Structure 1
Amino acid sequence: MFEDIPVDVSPMYEGERIRSANMFVELAGPKSIGAELVQVEDNVEDGKIQVIGPELTQMKQGDIFPFGINIQIQGEKLEKELEGVIERRIHELCNYVKGFMHLNQRDQIWCRVSNEALEAGFKLEHLAKSLSILFREEFPIIEKISVTIFTNKEEVESFLEMARDQYTQRDARSRELSDEDVDVFYGCLMCQSFAPSHMCVVTPDRTALCGAINWFDCRAAAKMDPDGPIFEIEKGDVIDAEKGEYSNVNEAIAEHSQGTTDRVYIHSVFEYPHTSCGCFEAVAFYIPELDGIGIVDRDFRGETPLGIPFSAMAGQCSGGKQVEGFTGLSLEYMRSPKFLQADGGYGRVIWMPKAMKDSVMEFMPEEMRDKIPTEEEATSINEIKDFITQHQHPVLDLIKQSETESKKEDIEKETPPETEETEYETIPSIPVMAPELSMPAAGGVKIIFKNAKIYAEKVIIKRK
């Protein structure tokens, strides 16, 4: 089947990482442009494979090229609403090819080719052939398929514009429903090769973290492949509608995370935030000094107000970890009326990159549009504080409330409560046994006594 492909093609290579020291070239990624797109068409030239632009043999060690993958498919049972689901499998199937690494999705793809693959004679046309074969295997309803790969800058730019238009149309359709309108959500396990304990919960109001799969896509995928990585989750009892917690969702999370996670709040970054894979488009992070939330996307190249870039931020919460105060999310979720609703939505957001802000501006409450600073107005926590104070951001009310409660607690601590004292004489010859007793020591050290014997001449019990 893969006889004319000079490298192995197998699921065993999924999850392979190609580090810069072993990299021949980089395709798309943070320093270039790229996109991938699957289109259901009526007149597909079956088996057509082409590379438009330089092949690997025309590239040099360390080069970075723009990159596009366009797959056109045809079949009697194929529908347009399946495009997004099938497209998302590009990530998985590309990684079956030994020596080729594919990360992310849509117009955020980031690929690398290893030196070993090049030495074996691997070319991009072999990648296209592999995808053609693998997609037929994965989706028997595909009757015809053609694969085109772009590495020419002008061609990639044109393809990127067309792909983004298709993404926009898909996303707009997903806004027709809300969580309350449906009885089922969906679970997606596509990223478990990179994040074994992660399960993405997809609802009408919360697109998958990758941004590539919405609720309609999941419905189509589950019907097409009932035993596949996308499956129905009956909502079950609503534990907390504001936070987005549902009994059956918790059960599904516990089962598919191998017990690592057993509770999740779909619409909050606090307590039990949604776990994150690694393909998310953005990260929401808590800024405790101002009791607000910052958001940074994958395209942002600078440092966040916390002093670290997106990559470091993503490393803290990716891999299926549940880290309070951090959660991955899609840009489309930021257009949802339920966006972090349990935390105050945009009324709690106090920083985001300008490009991201511009892309979601029309979905933000009008009164908040001038109150959220970007890197152009603030690059540190102090600068954010000055900006939100000047523009009367509603998070200031939370800060004042917190300060009032803190002062009240301090006053209560300073005023000793009235107590009643009862004294008991002990029998010196009989010690009190303590299975374990701990006490603090200097330097943050804790001393723990095991099976300690305590002698006391007098015991005083105080009652408030």
Structure 2
Amino acid sequence: MFEDIPVDVSPMYEGERIRAANMFCELAGPKSIGAELVQVAEDVEDGSVLVVGPNIDEMTEGERYPFGILAEIKGEKLEKELEGVIERKMHELCNYVNGFMHLNQRDQIWCRVSKEARDKGFKLEHLGEAVAALYKEEFPIIEAISIRIFTDEAEVESFLERARAQYEERDARARELTDEDVDVFYGCVMCQSFAPTHVCVVTPDRTALCGAINWFDCRAAAKMDPDGPIFEIEKGEVLDEIKGEYANVNAAVADRSQGTFDRVYLHSVFGYPHTSCGCFEAVAFYIPELDGIGIVDRDFKGETPLGIPFSAMAGQCSGGKQVEGFAGLSLEYMRSPKFLQADGGYERIIWLPKEIKDSLTDFIPADLVDKIPTEEDASSIKEIRRFLREHEHPIIQRLKEARKERREERKALEEAEAPEEVPTEMEETPVAYAPELTIPASGGVKIILKNAKVYAEKVIIKKK
């Protein structure tokens, strides 16, 4: 099938990573532009592959170039609803090509070509030929497919505009439905090749973490291939409507994560947050000093208020992990009325990159838009705190109430007299309180706990 392609094509190369030292050139990525798009069309010249712009042998080693890839498909059983699901497979199929690395999705793609592939004579038309053949093998309902690859900057800019219009059309349609309107959710395990315990739960109000697959896409995919990576989850018993916990979702996650996780909250970063793959568009992260939540997306180039960039934060929770206080999510989910509703929604958001905030103006409550700082307003915890106070963000009242509650608890503890008789066992009893508690650690480091309360499951008192 791939005799005319100078590099190997096989699923065994799917996990290949091309590091900078072995990279010939970079396509799209965070310092350039790019997109991928699959569209059902009537007039498709089967097998046609066209490269518009510089090819690999015309590129300069170490440089980066804009990149777009368009697949037009035709088939009697193909539906427009399938475009997003078939498009999401682009990531996997491109990575079958030895010496070509593909990351992310939609207009977030990031690709690299290795020096070894260039030396073997690999060109972009070979990528197109491989992808076309793999698509027809993966989806027999595709009767004809043509591939166009763009590296000319003007062409990529035009293609990017077209692709984003299609993404918005898909997303807008999905917003018309809510979780209460359906009896079935969907699970997706397409990312388990690199995040083996990740199970993405897709509902009308919660788009897949990658942002590329919504509930309608999943419905079409599950109908087309009931035994495929996208499967039905009967909504069933609602355990907690606000947190978004469902008995059948828990069971599906336990089954598909090989028993690693058995509880998931769809609308919270606390307790049992949704697992995170690595393809997520953004990360929600807890800022304990202010009891608020920040959001950072993969396009943000600076450091977050926690002092680390997106890449480091993504490393905290990717790979299929469930990490309390961190959750990968799609930007489309931030347009949902159920967005982190268990945590307070936008009333709990205290920092956003300006680009995200500007794109969400119509979805953030009007009275909160000017109260949420961006990197242009604040970058440190201290600066954020000042901004929140000056703009009377709801989190300030939350902090005041929490401080008042702590003062009352402290006063009650200080005023409490020691009982004459102490039970031999006390469950979850506070046995120590200290305004400041110093714990020595190795390497000359001291850990200082302020306003610390120490709890013990049991207290046993023995006479000597």
TM-score by length of 1: 0.91
Residue 324 of structure 1 is matched in structure 2 by: 324
The structural deviation recorded for 1:415 is 2.4
The Cα of 1:420 is off from its aligned counterpart by 2.2
AA of the residue aligned to 1:15: G
Aligned length: 435
Whether 1:246 aligns to 2:281 is: no
Q: Which residue of 2 aligns with 1:450?
A: none
1:443 to 434, 440, 444: 440
Give matches, 1:114-125, under 5 Å. Answer: 114-125=114-125
Matched, 1:97 2:94: no
What CA distance in whole angstroms lies between the structure 2 residues aligned with 1:318 and 1:154?
34
Alpha-carbon deviations, 1:357-381, whole Å to 9, x = none? 0001101111111100111111111
Structure 1: stretches of 5+ with no match in the other structure: 425-439, 446-453, 460-464
1:222 paired with 2:222, answer: yes
**1:455, CA displacement in angstroms?**
13
For 2:440 and 2:296, locate their aligned partners in 1 and report how far apart those are by CA, in whole Å.
36
CA distance in 2, matches of 1:187, 1:442: 45
| C-alpha RMSD of the superposition | 1.8
Corresponding residue for residue 281 of structure 1: 281
Displacement, 1:444? 4.4
Matched letter for residue 152 of structure 1 = D
What does the per-residue CA deviation read over 1:435-463, in whole Å, with 9 as the maximum and x for residues that have no partner? xxxxx997348xxxxxxxx997x36xxxx
Q: C-alpha separation between the residues in 2 aligned to 1:157 and 1:326?
A: 34
Alignment of 1:450-461 (within 5 A): 458=463
Deviation per CA, 1:153-198, whole angstroms, max 9, x where unpaired?
A: 0100000000000000000000111111111110011111111110
Q: Percent identity?
A: 72
Change (3 A) 1:423 1:304: closer
Pairing 1:57-456 to 2, within 5 Å after superposition: 57-421=57-421, 443-444=440-441
> Could you say what secondary structure the match of 1:130 adopts?
helix
Structure-1 separation of matches of 2:328 and 2:31: 22
Matched position secondary structure for 1:347: helix
Distance 1:455 1:174 in 2: 61
2:192 is paired with a residue whose SS is: coil
Return the letter of the residue paired with 2:254: A
How far, CA to CA, are the matches of 1:441 and 1:142 in structure 2? 66
State the 1:407 CA deviation.
1.0
Quick one: structure 1 residues 387 and 55, their matched pair in 2 at CA, closer, same or farther if it must change by over 3 Å? same
**Cα distance, 1:238–1:110 mapped onto 2, change above 3 Å:** same
Unaligned runs of at least 5 residues, structure 2 = 425-436, 443-459
Deviation at 1:68, TM superposition (A): 0.3
- One-letter amino acid matched to 2:228: G
Q: How many Å separate the matches in 1 of 2:231 and 2:214?
A: 13
Q: 1:202 to 1:422 in 2, by over 3 A?
A: closer
CA spacing shift, 1:93–1:389, aligned 2, 3 Å: same
Q: After alignment, is 401-410 or 155-164 more displaced?
A: 401-410
After superposition, the C-alpha distances for 1:45-73 in whole angstroms (9 at most, x for unaligned) are 11101111111111121110000000000
Shift, 1:409, TM fit: 2.1
CA spacing shift, 1:423–1:298, aligned 2, 3 Å: closer
Tell me the TM-score normalised to structure 2 length: 0.91
**Post-superposition offset of 1:422:** 7.7
Q: What displacement does 1:418 show?
A: 4.2
Shift of 1:413: 2.6
Separation in structure 2 between the aligned mates of residue 121 and residue 167 of structure 1, nearest angstrom:
34
CA offset at residue 414 of structure 1?
A: 1.6
CA distance in 2, matches of 1:22, 1:261: 37
